[in-house]
Amino acid sequence: MSYEMNWSHKLADNLAVRIHSANPNHSVSLPVQRYAIETIILNTIIIAFSLVAGSFITQASQVLLTIISFLLLRFITGGYHFSSPTLCIATTVIVYNAIPILAQFVHSPYVTFAITLGSLLLCITFAPQGKRAIVKQHQIIKLAGGAIIAVNFLVMSPVLAIAFFLQALTLIHFRKGGNSI
């Protein structure tokens, strides 16, 4: 792995070692602390950059809606992850800010319905993905993800439709590159 691909892991490792050495009898293992810290670092950077960029395009509230809906569905169903944290940050910030812009071009409730239906079908077909796939309750995860998406049949938000669809696309497992988590 190159240095660029390791920066977030190295930073999280450094912080986890310091925290762990301050309280070595803590019940949380060093690898678990490292993973949690890295997740917090990356998500904080992504959310902060996304909201700042959203403010510049005067879409901060729509970007926030995108972030919440995308992450909620992702938390339940899993999905594809880039192997490079820098690529993940850049792509995610761009996608989170592109969704509200794209949603402005969806003027028909039929299009919103169709995108939402596509998301639901992808979720039912491919969820769960990654480590969630080892859980025996696959059907519960599919139902929970499907229920989150189905809320948009009542709300009919183009932002939610596009966010759910793009997250559902990350459920499709590709063999080359990246990781599913």
Q: Which domain holds residue 168?
A: 3-180
**In the structure, what pLDDT confidence band is assigned to residue 1 with cuts at 50, 70 and 90?**
very low
Contacting residues for 52 by C-beta, under 8 A, at least 6 apart: none
Distance CA 137, CA 126 (A): 14
Distance CA 130, CA 167 (A): 14
Indicate if the pLDDT at residue 178 is higher than 80.
no
Residue 10: the pLDDT is 78
Distance CA 111, CA 84 (A): 34
Buried b (16+ CB within 10 A) or exposed e, 131-140: ebeeeeeeee
Indicate if the pLDDT at residue 169 is higher than 70.
yes
Nearest to 126 by CA among 162, 74, 72, 66: 74
Residue 176: the pLDDT is 52
Angle of CA points 118, 99, 105, to nearest 5°: 80
Q: What is the DSSP string of 74-139?
A: HHHH--EE-S-HHHHHHHHHHHHHHHHHHHTT---HHHHHHHHHHHHHHHHHH-S-GGGGGSS-HH
Number of domains in the chain: 1
pLDDT digits (tens, 9 = 90+) for 44-90: 999 999 999 999 989 999 999 999 999 999 999 999 888 888 898 99
